[in-house]
C-alpha cells in the first residue's frame, strides 16, 4: 500500500480556532470523552430522548450492566446526562442528555461521517498491519 504525502491541514482550513496541543490542553477533554468506547455510543443512543437503563442496554447490545452503569455515572459527573429517579414501586430511573450531551452529538455525527467515508480504507490498513505482525521476521 502506497501512502501519498499530503499538504498539512491548518485549523483555519477547517474553521477551528487555533489551539496549541500541549499536555494540559483543554481539547484533551474532548479526545478523552470521544475516546471512551461506550460514552459516544450511549450519547448517540439517547439522542431521541430519555431511556431507562434496561432499554439502553437492549438498544446498544454487547454492553455489560457494569459497564453501562459506570459509563452513565461518568456521563452524569461530566454533566452530559441527567438521571431522573421516580418515586414508584418498583423504583424507575431514566437518563436524558443535557444540553452539553446534546452538543456532543455534533462531533459524534462528524466522526460517523468520517468513518462512512474512510472506514473501509482504515480497516483494510489495520488488517494489513496485523498480517505483517503475524509474519515471521526474516
Buried b (16+ CB within 10 A) or exposed e, 76-106: eebebbeeeeeeeeeeeebbebeeebeebbe
Question: Would you say the pTM of this structure is higher than 0.95?
Answer: no
pLDDT one digit per residue (tens) for the chain, 138 residues? 444 455 665 655 666 666 666 777 777 888 888 888 899 999 999 999 999 999 999 999 999 999 999 999 999 999 999 999 999 888 899 999 999 999 999 999 999 999 999 999 999 999 887 766 666 665
Mutual angle of helices 27-35 and 99-134, in 10-degree steps: 70
Amino acid at each position: 500500500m502506497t501512502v501519498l504525502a499530503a499538504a498539512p491541514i491548518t485549523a483555519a482550513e477547517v474553521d477551528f480556532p487555533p489551539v496549541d496541543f500541549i499536555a494540559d490542553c483543554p481539547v484533551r477533554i474532548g479526545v478523552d470523552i470521544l475516546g471512551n468506547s461506550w460514552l459516544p455510543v450511549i450519547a448517540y443512543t439517547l439522542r431521541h430522548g430519555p431511556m431507562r437503563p434496561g432499554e439502553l442496554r437492549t438498544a446498544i447490545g454487547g454492553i455489560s450492566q457494569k459497564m453501562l452503569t459506570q459509563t452513565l455515572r461518568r456521563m452524569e459527573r461530566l454533566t452530559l446526562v441527567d438521571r431522573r429517579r421516580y418515586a414508584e414501586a418498583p423504583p424507575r430511573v431514566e437518563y436524558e442528555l443535557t444540553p452539553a450531551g446534546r452538543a456532543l452529538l455534533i462531533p459524534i455525527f462528524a466522526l460517523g461521517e468520517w468513518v462512512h467515508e474512510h472506514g473501509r480504507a482504515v480497516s483494510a490498513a489495520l488488517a494489513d498491519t496485523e498480517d505483517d505482525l503475524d509474519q515471521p521476521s526474516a
